Amino acid sequence: MPRASTMSAQGAWISSRRGAGSTIPNARFARCASDWPPAQGVFVTRILVDCRMAEWTGVGRYTVGLVRALAMRDDLDVVAAVAPGASAFADGLDTVTAAGNPFSPAGMTALGRAVGRVAPDVTHCPHFPTPLPVRHPLVVTMHDLTPLLVAGVMPSRVRRTVYRGQVARAVRIADALLTLSHF
């Protein structure tokens, strides 16, 4: 089914398989949404955010800001997936370690194991490297498509091929896509 997209109040493009304004992009989200609204008390959603790139520029700044904002919400239980020896930005947060380069198959598998240990309601990858395998609803933010759109930015054909494959996989498996520009 083709994706529809809509501009959110925060200025990010949101895309889902069910169309603009959809609240449940696919069946995997239904598990989370089936308990909403809560009959009594507060419904808390457990979200795992891949923070292994938190020390990078660009996507790192976005990730740190996102996690700090999410952590202030009472209706979310935020877990940060961090690289071994990660910086102190995650102090006060629940963390789970996921070793390996986020772009490598080993790093993607390590993130998949971390997601399995945490069993979140939703996993958010603030960049297109995604967990292997995907067992929980997945939100992906697309960053930096410049190497695919501008010739010469990434001169290595092998790296461009891997990059393109990871972007395509993220688009295919994500339950929702967030982009900083029209995608």
Q: Give the chain's residues under pLDDT 70.
A: 1-42, 87-90, 181-183
pLDDT for the residue 41: 56
pTM: 0.75
Picking from 90, 69, 68, 178, the residue whose alpha carbon sits closest to that of residue 127 is 178
pLDDT for the residue 29: 43
Detail the DSSP E strand segments found in the chain: 4-7, 13-16, 45-50, 76-82, 94-97, 122-125, 138-142, 176-179
Picking from 48, 41, 138, 140, the residue whose alpha carbon sits closest to that of residue 93 is 48
Q: Does domain 4-17+27-33+42-143+174-179 have CATH number 1.10.10?
A: no
Contact 136, 123 (CB under 8 A): yes
DSSP-derived secondary structure letter, 106: H
CA dihedral 150, 49, 14, 105 (to 10 degrees): 40
In one-letter notation, the amino acid at residue 122 is V
Peptide bond before residue 120 is cis, with ω within 30 degrees of 0: no
pLDDT for the residue 151: 82
Residue 169 CA to chain centroid, in angstroms?
A: 13
